[in-house]
Copies of this chain bind each other. A is one copy, B any other.
């Protein structure tokens, strides 16, 4: 059994890591930190873990682990990671701190300088279906953003096949758990509960992340117009991606492109109708599409807390530790 630690265990992604890891056959959570809940038992804070863990939250990081998940807010991770890395602990960062390869882009979108440029250079972008081999050998993995996951998996195969123009409109919709556990005006039920709220229009940090990764699959500079919307649901993301086809292609042509890319993937399914409910609670992704004249509208759905965060982090962990990639994650979505 590998020992793993969770740094920042009281939030949604920390709790979700614990939910998924507590039945994982090959690893054991041996420590979870929390500033506000240190000393409390994990199952008193996350009552769904009743019967699954006897851990208490600690204030200080336990370095006696093989791998650490960092589930702290942006900016905090790059303070923890250097200390973990120099002790030889493999790290998976669920924040945005190590996603941008370019420090200028980081500064522009995150509003401050990066303070751990050495490790930033080593960080591998943790989207297993596209960067599996790099992740296997990595010591530091930057876990992708939830929206980024739901968009990149949809668009990258079409970019790679060179069948779409660079100018893409992305209309993304996310459940409220994506905003984290801290109450705010936007996630106040009476505000968002019977509405859909566009926000950070053209200014969301996943924009450069998506462009950076898609560029790796293209001969050109992708330019996405990205508009996230807050949905009155808890879990789930739907990305509706509007792309212009370079030439006339049939449904079968596109189907082939996706099947070539994802046909053997455990967690990605090309379906006729991508359904959020079909993937909720699971690490699965569904992609569907329609051709309308010279455009393709493609849809991606994920559970933002699983494939969009903690599940994908565990998938990365499995690769980094040489375990079966789907270990602990091989469960269907709720469906209903």
Contacts and interface: CB of A to CB of B under 8 A. Distances in A.
A194 B176 CA distance: 11
Interface in A157-184: 169, 171, 173, 175-177, 179, 181, 183-184
A297 B202 contact: yes
A195 B301 CA distance: 10
Contacts of A201: 290, 292, 297
B225 A271 contact: no
Stoichiometry (number of copies): 4
Interface string A93-119: 000000000000000000000000000
Interface size class of A (residues with CB under 8 A): 35 or more
A190 B12 contact: yes
Interface string A36-54: 0000000000111111100
Contact of A233 (B49, B51, B195): B195
B295 A225 contact: yes
Interface of A: 12, 15-16, 19, 22-23, 46-52, 169, 171, 173, 175-177, 179, 181, 183-185, 187-198, 201-202, 223, 225, 227, 229, 231-236, 238, 240, 242, 266, 269, 271, 273, 275-282, 284, 286, 290, 292-293, 295, 297, 299, 305, 330-336
5 contacts: A19-B334, A50-B271, A173-B173, A231-B232, A281-B281
